[in-house]
Amino acid sequence: MASDENTTDNHDEPGLPDELVRALRAEERPLDLLTARVDREIRARAATQFSRRRERRPALAAAAAVLVAVTAGWFVAIGPGPELRDDFDGSGRVDIADVLALARSGQASAAEIDALAMRIVALDNGEES
């Protein structure tokens, strides 16, 4: 096959003159997917969206603060249940280990320790039949 004297085989476009390939490559640039107009529109929409979020944050924080205050007030008002007042070992439940913890603490009389033990091991759970 005869080759044209103005072409070489050292580029990706076989059969095109080198001068044309050089000129085309000089004009080659990446394709702009985001034009300036599209970029401005995206920025404007993002600014609108994020400004709405900032407006909601104080209201959300205030609602959360009120909820925490009401919950804390409720717990303070009702106090721990009678069974948790007797949780001397901090296990989250009242059992015979609490009687032992109270006895070891030396802060209660023998009558108080016996009364706690009787409440804990009572078969009827303190209900009258």
- In the predicted structure, residue 9 carries a pLDDT above the cut 50: no
- The 10s digit of each residue's pLDDT in 15-33 is 888 898 889 888 887 777 7
What pLDDT sits at residue 56?
66
Q: Domain locations in the chain?
A: 33-79, 82-121
What pLDDT sits at residue 129?
43
75 or 11: which carries more pLDDT confidence?
Answer: 75
- The 10s digit of each residue's pLDDT in 36-93 is 888 889 889 988 888 776 666 777 888 888 999 988 888 777 766 656 778 888 888 8
What pLDDT sits at residue 2?
45
pTM: 0.34
User: Distances in Å between the alpha carbon of 18 and those of 5, 8, 12, 25, 27?
Assistant: 10, 7, 11, 10, 14
Q: Cα separation of 66 and 114, whole Å?
A: 43
Helix axes 96-105, 110-121, angle to 10 degrees: 170
112 or 77: which carries more pLDDT confidence?
Answer: 112
Cβ contact 99:113 at 8 Å? yes
* Residues written for the chain: 129
Cβ contact 116:87 at 8 Å? no
Tokens representing 68? 């925490």
8 or 77: which carries more pLDDT confidence?
Answer: 77
What pLDDT sits at residue 111?
92
Sign of CA dihedral 43, 45, 50, 54: positive
